[in-house]
Amino acid sequence: MALIKKPVTGMKDILPAEMRLRDYCIGIIKKTYAEFGFTSIETPCVESLANLNSKQGGENEKLIFKVMKRGEKLNLETAREENDLTDSGLRYDLTVPLVRFYANHTSELPAPFKALQMGNVWRADRPQKGRYRQFMQCDIDILGEPSNLAEIELILATTTTLGRLGFADFKIRINDRRLLKAMAAYSGFPEEEYDNVFITLDKMDKIGIDGVAEELAKSGFAAESIDKYLDLFRAAEGKSGLDGLKTIADMLGDALEEEVRNNLDEIISSVDSTKTAQFEMVFDPTLVRGMSYYTGTIFEVAMPQYGGSCGGGGRYDKMVGKFLGQDTPACGFSIGFERIIMIMMDEGFKIPDENGRVAFLIEKGIKGERLAEIISESQKERAGGKQVLVVRMNKNKKFQKQQLLEQGYEDFREFYVNPIG
Amino acid sequence: MALIKKPVTGMKDILPAEMRLRDYCIGIIKKTYAEFGFTSIETPCVESLANLNSKQGGENEKLIFKVMKRGEKLNLETAREENDLTDSGLRYDLTVPLVRFYANHTSELPAPFKALQMGNVWRADRPQKGRYRQFMQCDIDILGEPSNLAEIELILATTTTLGRLGFADFKIRINDRRLLKAMAAYSGFPEEEYDNVFITLDKMDKIGIDGVAEELAKSGFAAESIDKYLDLFRAAEGKSGLDGLKTIADMLGDALEEEVRNNLDEIISSVDSTKTAQFEMVFDPTLVRGMSYYTGTIFEVAMPQYGGSCGGGGRYDKMVGKFLGQDTPACGFSIGFERIIMIMMDEGFKIPDENGRVAFLIEKGIKGERLAEIISESQKERAGGKQVLVVRMNKNKKFQKQQLLEQGYEDFREFYVNPIG
């Protein structure tokens, strides 16, 4: 029977050139996050459906790949519903598994716990260019740190990493869910409608302030609320650094807790005065971020030159409590690993290669002691740190060398059965 | 709803201490194999059931975790058989995916193609100590190299890696499927019974030569065949290096192709004269290895001090043809990654840590500019290559420091709201 050559729908094979880049980036990411005291952990790719469907995953819960139960032969006669066939699925993110992990191992983990996770996740999205149904996520999280030391360290660690990967002139947009709510409250929107207001606000960068006004009006909100709301954004527009925050906070007055303002102020100032990478901290009152589990600060990496967000995160102080029965402060930052790899591939990023690469081309007839001699020479070069490919000479040697050049071999040595000379 | 804290049955969470060791080993493995010219690739964790069930996977095909079809809502009313519900599953090894990958991308890959794969596989085995349903495999393969240069490079690369991980005094047992067959033919066993003879032979190290004789007799084989067969092993027993091979080959005479003998002879001599790690090449006529797809040389890493095999591989020249429609020589070597990690953990392996680790303990009340100053200092230390954890001082500072010591932080600095001085 002829077998199927293609990967399953929506998933992809990773070829050597991309894989080299991925390994290089993973190395830098792991090294940098370690310098900030993050420790790697790993959870199984398969999780209980009960956890995956616990309403922490938002829309992703509709995209789960379910794994069939094992054990006795599956009985289709008696299976009445899907739950009779499956009770686990492939994880769609690394946050739900992290929180389960933390609940399961709290007593064995340091407090606070600084975790790094790099792993595949699966989502049954409609396949489209650059989006795959299996992809790598790269998350750092700090569990058990209530103060904004968590946010500051997360942002510094992530931006240092991005800097070392060669990114510059990006922005970290920052906002706070509590500020978003205060602005909505101040404007007089009904509390149960906040989420709908934010969904419209989230489109600001696409449809502009007039588009937002129009959409809010269409949704039936009071003109007075809309005006009051948008005046806040108009007042802050174009103001750099902390000025925008000051303007809005002053307008909100008592509607905003002092602590929310000070918190953002401290994070922005501390990061700005200690950062090593080239980027800008930007207070952005239009930043919403989708996940409903965020409870405080939210942030995003903006790389406008590459069409949008390359990562994001925020504080989610209530989620651990759902597993542990006891709230634990939590804050995380996720890099858009696949996006970053795509950008670096598109830009033709050159991996710094410290050690040389040598190809030993050996004639087909060489064997026995002569072969051992040549391999012995290759071993000496390897001991000196070189990468040595020992390979039989093809009939078309010129084409072979050209291929090897493309793979980074710039130095060639040729060996024949009868040494010339 | 309270959520489930445990991982799904038979799978495990990996805690920071083990993860550090795994990352360290992965680093050495990737670096060493790269020096030998192997390039990393990756395939999706999910594969078509048609490929997984193509009889290349032996017993593992019974252990597949199946993934439910997506798309329209699953219709249990009309689903008649399991195939209506599922057409893909989690991979149980990296060999079937490698061969599919190679068939799919032949024209984009160098010839020969030297691949390194490190990735998780899943098997619905009965859970038991040290055996999990998700585990990492680490395979190198050379596709397109017919000569024993493939075997020599695979063995050198793998043993160099094991040596760098701190293993010594192990053995590489080597044999050839064709020699196994020649011995069975010479002894007069019926060809259709070879596999059964090998299943018994495989137990030699457990039940001894008398046990093998007994079991073969019980299976109803002719006493004459059994005697002739076991005389071969008796004659070779205790002979070191190439002597055992010479003895058996001389006894077999024309029953063994000259090429098989020369091939083993060359591999053993070449590896012995060029190896860098401390190990011994051992010709072992009792080595069988289970997978039915092997066609020639087979080998195994024996670490008797750790109870058995820590990896193995061999030549499988017919498998690519099943996907590509055209045979391609292939040879691979797989390290028992989980076994190796378990041994290193049990032995209390200490990871060489070149850079220092410092913990900054900061009093709870510190914030604003003072916080920024401290973080700025931590950034300077990090720029110098140090690993710096910035963490709030707990009430029980002594306990906190003890925990940090266990995590490898040996240097502490304490910061207070009002600097002492």
Measured between beta carbons, which residues in chain A are less than 8 angstroms from residue B258?
none
Sign, CA torsion A30/A31/A32/A33 = positive
pLDDT above 90 for A376: yes
Q: Which of residues 21-50 of A touch B (CB under 8 A)?
A: 22-23, 27, 30, 34-37, 39-48, 50
Contacts of A269 in chain B (CB under 8 A): 368-369, 372
What is the structure's pLDDT at A291?
75
User: Cα distance from B278 to chain A (closest Cα, Å)?
Assistant: 15
Q: Chain A residues with CB inside 8 Å of B12's CB?
A: 44
**What kind of architecture, by CATH, is found in domain B16-183+252-346?**
2-Layer Sandwich (3.30)
Report long-range pairs for B125-133 (Cβ below 8 Å, ≥24 apart). B125/B10, B125/B63, B127/B9, B127/B10, B130/B338, B130/B342, B132/B10, B132/B11, B132/B12, B132/B338, B133/B9, B133/B10, B133/B11, B133/B65
Residue A239: is its pLDDT beyond 90?
A: no
Give the closest residue to B351 by CA, choosing from B359, B341, B360: B341
Low-confidence winner among A157-161, A323-327, B385-389, B393-397 (lowest mean pLDDT): A323-327
Least CB–CB distance from B23: residue in A30, A68, A391: A30
**Predicted pLDDT of residue B316:** 95
Q: How far apart are CA A400 and CA B317, in angstroms?
A: 23
What pLDDT, on a 0 to 100 scale, did the predictor assign at position B176?
97
Listed in sequence order, the residues at least 6 apart from B346 whose beta carbon sits closer than 8 Å to its beta carbon are none
Q: Does B410 touch chain A (CB under 8 A)?
A: no
CATH topology of domain A16-146+317-352: BirA Bifunctional Protein; domain 2 (3.30.930)
* φ, ψ of residue B118 in degrees (nearest 5): -125, 120
3-class secondary structure, A106: helix
pLDDT digits (tens, 9 = 90+) for B160-208: 999 999 999 999 999 999 999 999 999 999 999 999 999 999 999 899 9
Report the alpha-carbon distance of residue B34 to residue B40 in Å, rounded: 8
Mean pLDDT of all residues belonging to chain B: 92
Q: What percent of chain A lies above the pLDDT cut of 90?
A: 78
Indicate the domain borders of chain B: 16-183+252-346, 357-415
Choose among A324, A322, A331, A270: nearest CA to A296: A331
pLDDT score of A6 more than 90: yes
How far does B386 lie from chain A, in Å, by closest CA? 6
Give pLDDT, residue A71. Answer: 63
Task: Give the nearest partner residue to B112 out of A148, A372, A391, using CB atoms.
Answer: A391
pLDDT for residue A157:
97
Q: Tell me the residues of chain A between 308 and 337 that have a Cβ less than 8 Å away from chain B.
A: 322-323, 325
User: Å from B297 to nearest chain A CA?
Assistant: 17
Classify strands A113-122 and A86-90 as parallel, antiparallel or unpaired.
unpaired
In the predicted model, what is the mean pLDDT of residues A233-252?
A: 91
Closest to A70 measured CA to CA, from B13, B74, B11: B11
pLDDT in the model for residue A79: 73
pLDDT score of A372 more than 80? yes
Give the residues across from A140 on adjacent strands.
A116, A333
- Per-residue pLDDT of B304-350, as tens digits, reads 777 788 999 999 999 999 888 889 999 999 999 999 999 999 999 99
pLDDT value of residue B420:
64
> pLDDT at residue B1 above 60?
no
* pLDDT(B356) > 90: no
Asked if the model's pLDDT at residue A421 lies above 60, the reply is no
B213 has a pLDDT exceeding 60? yes
Residues 6 or more apart in contact with residue B194 via CB below 8 angstroms: B180, B181, B184
At residue A409's C-alpha, the angle toward residues A405 and A415, to 5°, is 105
Q: Which of A1, A3, A21, A324 to mutate to test the interface with B (most CBs of B within 10 A)?
A: A3
- Lowest-confidence region among A95-104, A154-163, A274-283, A299-308: A299-308
Whole-number pLDDT of residue B330: 97
The DSSP string of A142-184 is EES--STHHHHHHHHHHHHHHHHTT--SEEEEEEEHHHHHHHH
pLDDT over 70 percentage in chain A: 97
Give the pLDDT mean for A381-386. 89
pLDDT over 80 at A221, yes or no: yes
Nearest CA in chain B to A53: B3
Of the pLDDT bands very low, low, confident and very high (cuts 50, 70, 90), residue A2 is: low
Residues of B in contact with A67 (CB under 8 A): 65-68, 90
Q: Does B273 touch chain A (CB under 8 A)?
A: yes
Give the contacts of B31 (CB within 8 A, at least 6 positions apart): none
- Output A2 or A26, whichever has higher pLDDT: A26
Tell me if A15 and B105 make a contact (CB, 8 A cut-off): yes
**Rounded-to-10 torsion of CA B287, B292, B293, B296:** 30
pLDDT band at A355; cut points 50, 70, 90: confident
Say whether B100 and A41 touch across the interface (CB within 8 A): no
Mean pLDDT for the stretch of residues B387-404: 92
pLDDT tens for B62-96 read 999 999 998 656 676 677 777 888 999 999 999 99
Instruction: Check CB contact under 8 Å for B388 and A35.
Output: yes
Q: What integer pLDDT is reported at residue B421 of this predicted model?
A: 52
| pLDDT, position B158 | 98
Mean of pLDDT values over A251-273 = 95
Q: Is residue B296 pLDDT above 80, yes or no?
A: yes
CB atoms within 10 A of CB A229: 22
ipTM: 0.93
Give the pLDDT confidence of A264-310 residue by residue, as tens digits.
Answer: 999 999 999 999 999 999 999 999 997 778 999 999 999 977 778 89
pLDDT digits (tens, 9 = 90+) for A199-211: 999 999 899 999 9
Q: Which residue of A has its CA nearest to B142?
A: A391
DSSP bridge pairs for B309? B302
